[in-house]
A and B are shown apart, each in its own frame.
Chain A
Amino acid sequence: MKKTYLLPLIIFSVLALLLYKGLYLDSRNVPSPFIGKPAPAFDLPRLYQKDQRISAEKMKGQVWLLNVFASWCVSCRAEHTVLTGFIRQYKVPAVGLNYKDYGTEDYGHDVISWLGQLGNPYTYVAVDTEGRTGINWGVYGVPESFVIDKKGIIRYKFTGPVSQKAVVEILVPLITTLRKEPA
């Protein structure tokens, strides 16, 4: 009990350590309540084939990626190159959810020229003009990416741009294990 004078020092060190750690936490990284839950249903018109629709149901039975993007989103641009590389190299079925883009009511040219310029790696591009599907998926900061398993369960979520480091360290190992799971 003689060492009680050390107590304030210990409390201070613990607090300092916690606060130091807090400095490097990303406040955008709000834990998604969707991990381990079924992907919310959607049924949306496609960008290039206006008369066709794409739904979450159609993607079942495979490990797939849903990437929320918009042509007005600056960080999507940087992410797009990284994701395109990943999607093409690992042949990942991917849905690009075009979130509240300009002029998508008439399937506007902004997103089409954006994809024309940067390349279109998506299997399907779904158009969410009013952002209602976005709300259903808990989207609050574009870009966001979800990994969905063969049973239609969301297994991982990125908020903000996916980096090359995240592709190598998280995405590749994740889809490799998910692909081995039974459908």
Chain B
Amino acid sequence: MLSMQSLISVLRWFTFSFFITVMSLAQAGTIESHSFDSPEKEATYKRLIEELRCLVCQNQNIAGSNAELAQDLRRQTYEMVSKGSSRDEVVDFMVTRYGDFVLYQPPFKFKTLLLWFGPPLLLLISLIFLVRQLRKKSTKPELELDKKQRESVRDLLK
């Protein structure tokens, strides 16, 4: 009986390692390898895929997304960069097609003023409000009670 059990465990181990191998092979298939002729180009490419948003997933950049569109946009970026396009040229290309939304960092312009200045403005307003309130409290004299009121308080506290 013991040999039967050990046979099963060996079989189990084989199946397990088989699946691990298959899975790692499948994984290897999806890894993209890009070669660049200069380290600057590689840096530009890596920076761009971090900066560009995947429009399907919306909360991922195209570096981190495995969506088909992200793959296509990575391919597009790679092709442009390896042909010598600068970072700004690729960004322009993407923005004319997908709009500012494709950028994780919104550009600074009239439409995005509120986006850039909203949070510090809110902070400023609330700070002013807070300071005012605190000052008011410290300068305000204690409530004056007349004799009658004082007596009634004393009675209540008895």
Binding site for B on A (CB under 8 A): 27, 30-34, 40, 100, 130-131, 134-138, 140-141
**Which B residues between 62 and 91 are near A, CB-CB below 8 angstroms?**
68-69, 72-73, 76
Residues of B within 8 A of A135 (CB): 72-73, 76, 97
A100 to B68, CA, bound (A): 10
Interface residues of B (CB under 8 A from A): 55-56, 58, 68-69, 72-73, 76, 95-101
4 A-B pairs with the lowest CB-CB distances in the bound complex, closest first: A140-B55, A138-B97, A33-B99, A30-B101
> Given that A135-B76, A140-B56 are known contacts, is A31 also in contact with B69, CB under 8 Å in the complex?
no
For B98, what are the chain A residues with a Cβ–Cβ distance below 8 Å? 30, 33, 138, 140
A137 to B, closest residue via Cβ? B97
Nearest A-chain residue to B99, judged by Cβ: A33
Alpha-carbon gap, A100 to B76, bound state (A)? 15
Q: Given known contacts A100-B68, A131-B68, what 19 new A-B pairs fall within 8 Å (CB)?
A: A27-B58, A30-B98, A30-B99, A30-B101, A31-B99, A33-B97, A33-B98, A33-B100, A34-B97, A131-B72, A134-B72, A135-B73, A136-B97, A137-B97, A138-B98, A140-B55, A140-B56, A141-B55, A141-B56
Which A residue's beta carbon lies closest to that of B73? A135
The interface residues of chain A lying within 8 Å CB-to-CB of B58 are 27
- Chain A residue with minimal CB distance to B97? A138
CA of A115 to CA of B58 in the docked complex: distance in angstroms?
A: 31
- Within the assembled complex, what's the spacing in Å between the Cα atoms of A95 and B2? 71
Chain A, residue nearest B75 (CB) = A130
Complex CA gap A19/B83 in Å reads 45
Tell me, in angstroms, the Cα distance from A135 to B79 when the chains sit together. Answer: 13
Query: How far apart sit A138 and B94, CA to CA, in the bound complex (Å)?
Result: 8
A/B interface sample: 24 pairs, CB < 8 A: A30-B55, A30-B98, A30-B99, A31-B99, A32-B99, A33-B97, A33-B99, A33-B100, A34-B97, A40-B97, A100-B68, A130-B72, A131-B68, A134-B72, A135-B72, A135-B73, A135-B97, A137-B97, A138-B97, A138-B99, A140-B69, A140-B98, A141-B55, A141-B56
Q: Using Cβ atoms and an 8 Å threshold, which residues of chain B touch A100?
A: 68
Determine the chain B residues whose CB is within 8 A of the CB of A27 once the complex forms.
58
A31 / chain B contacts, CB cutoff of 8 Å: 99, 101
State in angstroms the CA–CA spacing of A140 and B65 once bound together.
Answer: 14
Return chain A residues, CB-CB under 8 Å to B73: 135
Bound state CA distance, A27 and B98, in angstroms?
14
The smallest beta-carbon distance between A100 and chain B, in angstroms, is 7
A40 CA to B93 CA, complexed, in Å = 12
Set of chain A residues within 8 Å of B76, measured between Cβ atoms: 135
Per the bound structure, the CA–CA distance linking A30 and B100 in Å amounts to: 9
Does the CB pair A33–B55 fall under 8 Å? no
Most interface-central of B68, B97, B98, B100 (chain A CB within 10 A): B97
A137 CB contacts on chain B under 8 angstroms: 97
Please give the distance in Å from A155's CB to the nearest CB on chain B.
Answer: 17
Nearest residue, chain A, Cβ from B54: A140
Contacts known (A135-B72, A135-B76, A140-B69); A33 close to B56, Cβ less than 8 A: no
